[in-house]
Structure 1
Amino acid sequence: MVDESVLIIGAGASGLMAARELARQGRRVTILEAKERTGGRILDIPASDGSVPFMMGAEFIHGNAELTFELLKEAKIEFSNITGKSYFARNGHLEDYGSDQFFWPELSEKLELLTEDVTLSQFLDTYFKEEQYGELRESVLQFAEGYDAADADRVSVLSLKKEWEQDYDNHQYRVEGGYSRLIEYLEKDCVEMGVLIIPGKVVSHFNWSRGFVEAITINGERYGARKVIITIPLGVLQVKDGSPGVVNFTPPLPIRMGAVRAMGFGSVIKVLLEFEKSFWPEDTGFIFSKEAIPVWWTQLPSSAPVLTGWLAGPSVEKLRDKSESELLDLALQVLSNIFGITQQQLKAGLKQAYACNWANNPFSRGAYTYTTVEEPNAAAVLGNAVQGTLYFAGEGIYHGPQIGTVEAALISGREAARRVVSGL
């Protein structure tokens, strides 16, 4: 007998948002979640002493994230503006980072000349190949890789242009107590409306026909419904046939899976270190360097003695197979180089330390999406329902300037639910 309820695969921000929207419309919803927790790529580890949580996944609100702000206000969760000064680490000393803004007028001028899309590498080779532009090239590449987790040989320049025009630098926020508070709020709201959330269910196969879908787990359990919203991360959907962790569809979806594999999905390694006390200037917001873990930031406006290290993009591949202890040793070596403090001194003052390599997480296989030249409209392709039965949602399915963010995941989940209700 076919269950009239809607299945949602994944209890991250997108899945929970979709479930809430559907439940409000009177639909019966079941969420199958692969992990034993909700939140997806939002992962906060509570601090033992009640200070700031250790945000191993999503941390910042980027720009004017209207839906995120609306939900935080509804949940009575505070958020704060990111403050602090930016420094550049050189030869064991911190100096004013200054700004690369003097590069941007010329960069913007050349971006306006583009009549067709190219990769970032092609763009830089065309307009900034000369030796005199070495610093500009390095700065742009570091920003695209570090901020967008993008591969310069694949990422769409026109998509970067659209994003850079958002002026995120002056509009960055952090959720007080961590993003998990928002997840907890959405989960509680869903459960109170009758949404059934089943953890530990890894879906590996979908059998479907118009008006019916059956999700099959790796243990052979079967869940049927009229419609399904799939919020499985792009990195997992990109696993090729015959590889461990692959998700299959019967009948197959060549157009959708072709779009999935043409999209960019960047990796991130994130390290959090809590010390007995701060040893960096009290006005420090961000520290940039040319070290193996190149970007660090504090918790300002909170004075918590916590440093977060960030490595994103293709450079993650060099460290993909490193264990957590090896990543933490590397982090201490990097901080030793940046501050001119011995590793022994750093270890003596270290209270807690965590490292997360999202590329090695079997339920994400990366961090977030970027637009490629290969398939600039892939998100729009995936956003279309398959015969009114299969719907895709998630930060990678969102089509707009907030790609790769929690805001994108929330919007995508809400829109997928509305398409389910409308039958589009």
Structure 2
Amino acid sequence: MSITRRTLLLGAGTGAVAMLLASCTPTPAPKPTRTRTPAPKPTAPSRVPAPTTWARSTWATDPYSFGSISYLPAGADPQQRDTLAEPLMDRVFFAGEATDATNPGTVLGAVDSGHAAALALIDAASEKERVAVIGAGAAGVVAARLLADAGHRVTIFEARERTGGRVLSQTGDDWPVPAQLGAWLITPEQLTGLRDRLTALGDRQLTFEPAAAWSKDGVTDELTGDAIAQAVDKAKTFPADVSLAAALEQNGADLKDPALVAALAWLSATTGADPANASSWYPPAFRDDVLTGMTEDLGAFFDEHLEDLEVTLASPVVRVAYDDSGVSLRLGTGEALSFDRVVVTVPLGVLQQQGIEFAPALPFAQRGAIAALASGFVETVWMRFEEAFWDAQQPIWHVVGGDGLIRTWINLLPAIGEPVLVGLVGGMEAEQFSALSERDARAAARQALAFFAPPEQDES
């Protein structure tokens, strides 16, 4: 796949569409939280074989992301995203999905924010300035491309040893399609909007129907968010914003009801939001429609558009000093470099953990916005087996009941003809899963899959 500079940015400011991030730590400001319990140390059941190939994300514990998807907690306001995006002295500009009020928590939001930050910088700058871009994810790539095409001398600093940020594809002979550990699930409408911006994205996708709800008795029905929608409607009449979990309780819902637990787990797996923290006035969307899975090597897609730009990998920026004459960056190595302006695209979780020091300190309003927004967790695990051990033909499974750490699974066998299962876990359970060792994570995944193993394979 190839794409020109011009097609990369075509229509980058049009349409209101989104692409899920498969996506930071809880905010430091006091908020309602639920008690965290240690993740179980599971023993894999023998009826679920060991996978022949395995890959998983650990965004929650990644020091260069601390999570996956920003969302609004109870008491937060969408305006705080705009506040976070405000430039400092026309020297420091901010981009990233957390700064976009139209498509927050999405790759499209990241793309649009990078576009907006670049245009704002171009408007403030003179010709051929030295510009630094911190972060080589979606926002950083778009901003850098536009700035370079406008004639500025751009240097990109990426903390990781690869580009792509929270977009990560694993390829190779072991995978019949790239194993997407970051952004890859979107709605058909979102796919159309994404192509409006990235016109040569590619045309290979997989389509998955709505999730099937599974209980111990087998498939029960499609997963529904009716109880959540009713609670959100009632919450609009409350004098103050409360968490989604609190709104459900006040609407008479039983938070221990297996069907509701399953619906909330699905919500977390697709948005990263913790129901005990998420706003009921500005709740995350319950996705009960068809999902499309991208099968492109998304990391290579971004690399292709950085080929003629100066990209410095394994170079975390730890300090940004700025005044009305320019910007100085200090790298983790201790090296200091000077630029005219900088675009900061690091994830919200990095800002919340004060991974970058600003001198002078960020204005009070921006610090308040960083503290007020929440970072959600979504982790993805891909497992390829020698042969299918399951009988289920549905493309999306979601567990109602049981105690498995991973409740949502995507069955790729009908779509690609290969025995590949993809697990999604969100919210606090995703944070637990991210912290597990590789051995324990594999065991937890196999234990969760025991729900779908035919009874006759049970050795007991």
Question: Taking structure 1 as the reference length, what is the TM-score of the superposition?
Answer: 0.68
Q: Residue 415 of structure 2 is aligned with which of 289, 296, 301?
A: 301
Aligned residue in 2 for 1:189: 305
Percent identity between matched residues is: 25
Deviation at 1:37, TM superposition (A): 0.7
What is the CA–CA distance in structure 1 between the aligned matches of 2:226 and 2:276, rounded to whole Å? 25
Deviation at 1:136, TM superposition (A): 6.7
Q: Deviations over 1:141-182 (max 9, x none)?
A: 334333222122321112226x35xxx4334222233433xx
Aligned residue in 1 for 2:348: 234
What is the CA–CA distance in structure 2 between the aligned matches of 1:108 and 1:268, rounded to whole Å? 23
Sort the Cα spacing of 1:16 and 1:343 in 2 relative to 1 into closer, same or farther, 3 A: farther
Aligned residue in 2 for 1:110: 234
Q: Residue 278 of structure 2 is aligned with which of 149, 152, 155?
A: 155
Deviation at 1:238, TM superposition (A): 1.1
What is the CA–CA distance in structure 1 between the aligned matches of 2:165 and 2:255, rounded to whole Å? 44
Aligned residue in 2 for 1:263: 373
Deviation at 1:265, TM superposition (A): 0.7
| Segment drifting more, 287-296 vs 316-325 | 316-325
Q: Deviations over 1:12-59 (max 9, x none)?
A: 111101111222222221100111111111111113156111112222
Q: What 5-or-longer segments of structure 2 have no aligned partner?
A: 1-127
8 Å Cα contact 2:384-2:420 kept in structure 1: yes
Deviation at 1:81, TM superposition (A): 4.9
Give 1:298's aligned amino acid. N
Aligned residue in 1 for 2:114: none
Q: What 5-or-longer segments of structure 1 have no aligned partner?
A: 241-245, 346-424
Q: Residue 316 of structure 1 is aligned with which of 430, 436, 460?
A: 430
8 Å Cα contact 2:271-2:378 kept in structure 1: no
What is the CA–CA distance in structure 2 between the aligned matches of 1:61 and 1:204, rounded to whole Å? 34
Q: Deviations over 1:354-413 (max 9, x none)?
A: xxxxxxxxxxxxxxxxxxxxxxxxxxxxxxxxxxxxxxxxxxxxxxxxxxxxxxxxxxxx
8 Å Cα contact 2:255-2:261 kept in structure 1: no
Q: Deviations over 1:200-227 (max 9, x none)?
A: 1011111111241111111012222111
8 Å Cα contact 2:185-2:291 kept in structure 1: yes
Aligned residue in 2 for 1:278: 388
User: Size of the alignment, in residue pairs?
Assistant: 327
Give 1:220's aligned amino acid. G
- Indicate the RMSD between aligned Cα atoms, in angstroms: 3.1
SS of the residue corresponding to residue 158 of structure 1 reads coil
SS of the residue corresponding to residue 270 of structure 2 reads helix
Question: 1:16-415 to 2 correspondence within 5 Å?
Answer: 16-49=141-174, 51-62=176-187, 64-65=189-190, 67-75=193-201, 77-84=202-209, 86-91=211-216, 94-100=218-224, 103=227, 106-107=230-231, 109-111=233-235, 113=237, 116-129=240-253, 134=257, 137-160=260-283, 163-164=285-286, 168-180=287-299, 184-191=300-307, 194-240=308-354, 246-253=355-362, 254-281=364-391, 283-289=393-399, 290=402, 291-299=404-412, 301-340=415-454
SS of the residue corresponding to residue 296 of structure 1 reads strand
SS of the residue corresponding to residue 29 of structure 1 reads strand
Deviation at 1:335, TM superposition (A): 1.4
Give 2:329's aligned amino acid. A
Aligned residue in 2 for 1:358: none
SS of the residue corresponding to residue 416 of structure 2 reads coil
Could you say which structure has the higher helix fraction?
1
Give 1:36's aligned amino acid. E
Sort the Cα spacing of 1:317 and 1:12 in 2 relative to 1 into closer, same or farther, 3 A: closer
8 Å Cα contact 1:332-1:343 kept in structure 2: no
Sort the Cα spacing of 1:24 and 1:186 in 2 relative to 1 into closer, same or farther, 3 A: farther
Deviation at 1:107, TM superposition (A): 4.3
Q: Residue 5 of structure 1 is aligned with which of 130, 136, 143?
A: 130
Deviation at 1:322, TM superposition (A): 1.5
8 Å Cα contact 1:54-1:272 kept in structure 2: yes
SS of the residue corresponding to residue 199 of structure 2 reads helix
Deviation at 1:67, TM superposition (A): 4.9
Deviation at 1:84, TM superposition (A): 4.3
SS of the residue corresponding to residue 283 of structure 2 reads helix
Q: Deviations over 1:331-352 (max 9, x none)?
A: 112212431479999xxxxxxx
Deviation at 1:61, TM superposition (A): 2.1
